[in-house]
Amino acid sequence: MSLLVVVLLLFAGVSEVAGRILPLVVRRPGMSRTRVAGLLLACGLVEGALFALWPLTAASLAELVQSSPPTGAGPGWTPGLVTPLVFAAVLAFPLLGPTLHLLLLVGVGAGLVGPVSTATDLGRWGSAGCVALAGAGLGAAVEAVRRSVVRIGATTAWEPIV
């Protein structure tokens, strides 16, 4: 993975998290800017790692479906495939467009179908199913972590910083 792809994945992760965390921060007075910046960076690293795992998870699912091992190397991200993920922040804001955000992720997943199909020799429809299943599984996992963090954060009392 090139350095440009890693930077784009990190920026896409921070972009995704910014769209989800900033509306919550606005509703919760008393959070310091350093704490918000730390949350954005930490959660952005997690989101970036999940984005990086998406093609690998899809290829692993394709290997489970196939009876013979794949002939090529595993698929990876290219700058052209990652770039649309950077726009996730604008589309992730709850009132601006969850439907557009979903369409963006579907578009990026459709772009991953070709590399996964080439790497695994599974075919386009089988690869599309594996990409969709991998995306949904990773999305469900990160949503479960988000909800548990929010639940834990809601039980602790936040002190206003003066």
Q: Which residues constitute the domain of residue 129?
A: 3-155
Instruction: Determine the pLDDT at residue 16.
Output: 75
For residue 162, being part of any structural domain is answered with: no
Q: Which residues 6+ apart lie within 8 Å of 94 measured at CB?
A: 23
- Separation between Cα atoms, residue 66 and residue 96, nearest integer Å: 41
- pLDDT, tens digit only, all 162 positions of the chain: 678 888 888 877 777 777 777 766 767 777 777 877 887 788 888 888 888 888 888 888 888 877 665 555 567 676 777 766 666 555 455 555 566 667 777 888 888 888 888 888 888 888 899 889 988 888 888 888 777 776 766 555 555 555
- Is residue 18 within 8 Å of residue 148, measured between CB atoms? no
Q: Which residues 6+ apart lie within 8 Å of 110 measured at CB?
A: 128
Instruction: Determine the pLDDT at residue 70.
Output: 55
Say whether 9 sits in a helix, a strand or coil.
Answer: helix
Q: Report how many domains make up the chain.
A: 1
Instruction: Determine the pLDDT at residue 53.
Output: 84
Q: pTM for the whole thing?
A: 0.70
For residue 161, being part of any structural domain is answered with: no
- Is residue 58 within 8 Å of residue 127, measured between CB atoms? yes
For residue 136, being part of any structural domain is answered with: yes
- Separation between Cα atoms, residue 93 and residue 102, nearest integer Å: 12
- Separation between Cα atoms, residue 117 and residue 62, nearest integer Å: 9
For residue 19, being part of any structural domain is answered with: yes
Q: List, for residues 44-72, the tens digit of each pLDDT value.
A: 888 888 888 888 888 888 888 776 655 55
For residue 25, being part of any structural domain is answered with: yes
Instruction: Determine the pLDDT at residue 162.
Output: 54
